[in-house]
A and B are shown apart, each in its own frame.
Chain A
């Protein structure tokens, strides 16, 4: 395992040098908050951030993505036959991704990459992406990664992990992809004992700063129908606006819709993020809607994350504890509170 130390200037220069080999997505200050954007010489990376407003899931799974294209009509023998859109699957790296957001890709992967089917776009984007994490020195009060199997310096799901040690960065290669990234990067020097000790202390102190941790272990033992019929859903759902803030900001929400768009004789099949909060999500052609009411949709979101996923994959909850939905839900529906209600029911 490679462990190298960079001064902060060296680090930025090193990244600049990597732009030939990778499209680098880095956190950039964009108005009031940070966003992952391609490092293109114009935008200055800013690694002094809590987390980006939108999770980096869109790098691998864009908000809207063209899947197929076609021509319409009768003249062409190829008309009405779908052709896969060409895509750029050249190497990318998300530099500065938080460990919770990296863990989220592992959670989502169980959906898009399974023994029966592999989503060709998600899988190829994911496989071509190197995840270079940045540990959280100062987790927020709304973070609860430690409750869902992660941590501020959690390594699973990352290819490399960066420790911010004040003046310097320590970077550890964790996988072959991460090692390849490090091998291409100029500058830095091998880490000494003192640096490694400092990183260890930082990891320990950061974990202790996580104050909220609703236990998620009890969820497995509950019965789906018991939780489904629990009396608290009406109260949880009352304020919900049925907007897509929670699902679109969430790094582990993967639901999508597929739409055809036509312009003249040419058309595209596009997939867009969708949300279980929207009534249209489950509306049948007949007009029947199994999740017609707000309370059913709110229940679906939490049951999916905290129970259905748990039962289906036997691999924890569908949540990486990033806290975005807690901070940005316009009506303050707090998943930690819902989780506690489910635990205690």
Chain B
């Protein structure tokens, strides 16, 4: 999924996967921070986002 999304042009860094146990509070914080940082760095997504239908 990640492979194909990035292949069609979604920037790497927009999709993250992580296994976090309910006991891994620090890991959760780390992952959340990393995701937020990486996505912020990429800026707002414009591609593959449904807006008002482009129709006649």
Contact = CB atoms under 8 A, between A and B. Distances in A.
Q: Do any beta carbons of A and B sit within 8 angstroms of each other in the complex?
A: yes
Contacts of A66: 53, 55-56
Interface in B30-56: 50-53, 55-56
A270 B56 CA distance: 9
Contacts of B52: 261, 263, 266, 268
Contact of A64 (B50, B51, B56): B56
Decide if the interface of chain A is mainly helix, strand, loop or mixed.
Answer: strand
A62 interface: yes
Nearest to A87: B56
A10 interface: no
B43 to A, nearest CB: 21
A179 interface: no
A131 to B, nearest CB: 19
A340 to B, nearest CB: 38
A150 to B, nearest CB: 28
Interface in A60-89: 62-66
The range of chain A's interface size is: 10 to 19
A266 B50 CA distance: 14
A266 B52 CA distance: 9
Contacts of B50: 263
B51 A263 contact: yes
Interface residues of B, number: 6
Contacts of B51: 263
Contact of B55 (A65, A263, A266): A65
Contacts of B53: 64, 66, 261, 268, 270
A256 to B, nearest CB: 13
Interface string B17-30: 00000000000000
Contacts of A263: 50-52
B44 to A, nearest CB: 16
B51 to A, nearest CB: 7
Q: Which residue of B51, B53, B55, B56 has the most chain A CB atoms within 10 A of its CB atom?
A: B56
Nearest to B53: A261
A261 B55 CA distance: 12
B41 to A, nearest CB: 26
Nearest to B51: A263
A270 B53 CA distance: 9
Contacts of B56: 62-66
A64 B54 CA distance: 9
Contacts of A62: 55-56
Contacts of A65: 55-56
A295 B30 CA distance: 58
9 contacts: A62-B55, A64-B53, A64-B56, A65-B55, A65-B56, A66-B56, A263-B50, A268-B53, A270-B53
